[in-house]
Amino acid sequence: MASMGASERLVLIRENLAEILNPEIIEKILEEGRNPKIYWGTATTGRPHCGYFVPAIKIGQLLAADCDVTVLLADIHGFLDNLKAPLELVNHRVVYYRFVIKSILEAVGVSTAKLRFVQGSDYQKSPEYIMDVYKLSSLVSEHDAKRAGAEIVKQTDNAPLSGLLYPILQVLDEQYLDCDAQFGGLDQRKLFIAAKDWLPKVGYRERAHILNPMVPGLHGGKMSSSDQDSKIDLLDAPEVVAKKIKKAVAAPKVVEENGVVAFVEYVLLPASALRGKREFIVERERDGLEPLVYTNIADLHRDYQNDVLTPQLLKPAVAKGLNELLAPIHAAFQNSKEWQDIALKAYPPPPKKEKKVKDKGSRHPGKINQELPIRESQ
């Protein structure tokens, strides 16, 4: 915020990050009293789920630290990544993603007035950009392009050439979005390292990179749009949310790779701070005990490891906290005919399978009277 000093802004920018590459770039900008320009890109492919709260919370913190934030709705990237987003659906999904990201931020009390949205195809088809793609393509080896995109581009035995272009485009986006830093997950580290090496080859400056850790999903692995059991959709009903969290993997006394504990750390606690009061409450009324109130994750980790906080206590509290976050998103969706219409266009339901009528012939019971000629009496 405007009243925050450089050190306070840096603390907020750094919170819950796994790593910062070239942190001195951001530190110098803050010392000069300027606003760092940071961009986060998302390929408009699968339907966004509650895993999107993790980068959205960080975007909220960056906005609170008075950074200038750009969200790249990467439609061309979605198409390039093994055709995950068919061209006929891309534009609809861009609109859907814009609704979702704005509603998530507003749900945690963050104003989106200064948030800038850019659609990739608005500049990625310009002559200058295409020429830079050609230049980098002549300087980057197939091996290096594959390595840079190894964890973010779908890998197959006979992959299309588009997978090699994907990391080249993402690197150039830093220049064309005029950013000081790019924000992304730890799975993009190889690409961020490539960006530091590749951009100077075509005469552009290095950027900083801020990396979120990879937060485990409900079953310990990455929360995925394609795995219905591992994700909670942003529009899931409260009872569905509670049921999915109840079924989530959360081993007693183990905080590592525990998706339920991680959701408190990376979403619920920082979200409460953005709304004005950092706390996470676990009710124990059924046991006749006072609630557990956490203002930092270290105390929650300690209680969980000592079995003071059990999975049976934690899961209902997480379900309640998540449903409170989702409630304004549900309300916004219900109040927006445009959002509802675009949801159907962006993610149309699969066509119903037509029931095949089995031809049983004319000799099965029930057909005889209809099909045999009736003889007149003589």
User: Same domain, yes or no, for 267 and 321?
Assistant: yes
Q: What is the pTM of this model?
A: 0.87
Q: What is the pLDDT of residue 85?
A: 66
Q: Which residues of the chain have pLDDT under 50?
A: 1-2, 367-368, 370-372, 374-378
| CATH number assigned to the domain comprising residue 124 | 3.40.50.620
Give per-residue pLDDT as tens, 108-157.
989 999 999 999 999 999 999 999 999 999 999 999 999 999 888 877 77
| CATH number assigned to the domain comprising residue 263 | 1.10.240.10
User: Same domain, yes or no, for 204 and 267?
Assistant: no
Q: What is the pLDDT of residue 363?
A: 56
217 occurs within a structural domain = no
Q: What angle do CA 265, 293, 310 make, to 5 degrees?
A: 70
360 occurs within a structural domain = no
The CA distance from 184 to 42, in Å, is 9
The CA distance from 168 to 303, in Å, is 46
Half-sphere CA count of 71, side-chain side, radius 13 A: 27
User: Same domain, yes or no, for 193 and 330?
Assistant: no
Domain span holding position 256: 238-346
CB 57 within 8 A of CB 266: yes
Q: What is the pLDDT of residue 308?
A: 97
Q: What is the pLDDT of residue 221?
A: 61
User: Total domain count for the chain?
Assistant: 2
Q: Which long-range contacts does 190-194 make (Cβ < 8 Å, 24+ apart)?
A: 190/147, 190/148, 190/149, 190/150, 190/151, 191/148, 191/149, 191/152, 191/167, 192/21, 193/21, 193/148, 194/140, 194/144, 194/147, 194/148, 194/167
Whole-angstrom CA distances from 218 to 137, 293, 305 are: 39, 23, 19
User: Same domain, yes or no, for 207 and 246?
Assistant: no
User: Same domain, yes or no, for 104 and 208?
Assistant: yes
- One-letter amino acid of 287: D
